[in-house]
Amino acid sequence: MSHALHRHGTVAQLQNDYTFYARTSRYVNREGCGPKLRKILSILLEEKSLVNFGSSHSGKSYEAGLNPEEYATTLDKAYGVAACFSDKETIRSILAKLKEADTGISIVISGLIDEVVKIAKDLGLKPHTAFLSLGVHGKKALLPEDRVLQVTTMCGHGQVATRLTKAVMDRVKEGKMTPEAGAHLLAQPCPCGIFNTRRCATILEAYREEARAGSAS
Where exactly are the structural domains of the chain? Answer: 2-122, 140-216
- b vs e for 103-142, b when ≥16 Cβ sit within 10 Å of the residue's Cβ? bebebbbbbeeebbbebbeeeeeeeeeeeeeeeeeeeeee
- Number of CB atoms found within 10 A of residue 194's CB: 31
pTM as predicted:
0.92
Tens-of-pLDDT digits for all 217 residues of the chain?
577 888 999 999 999 999 999 988 887 777 888 999 999 999 999 998 899 999 888 889 999 999 999 999 999 888 899 999 999 999 999 999 999 999 999 999 999 999 999 999 999 999 989 888 888 899 999 999 999 999 999 998 889 999 999 999 999 999 999 999 999 999 999 999 999 999 999 999 999 998 888 776 6
CATH number for the segment(s) 2-122: 3.30.70
Distance CA(199)–CA(192), nearest Å, equals 16
Distance CA(44)–CA(22), nearest Å, equals 11
DSSP notation for 8-23: -S-HHHHTT-EEEEEE
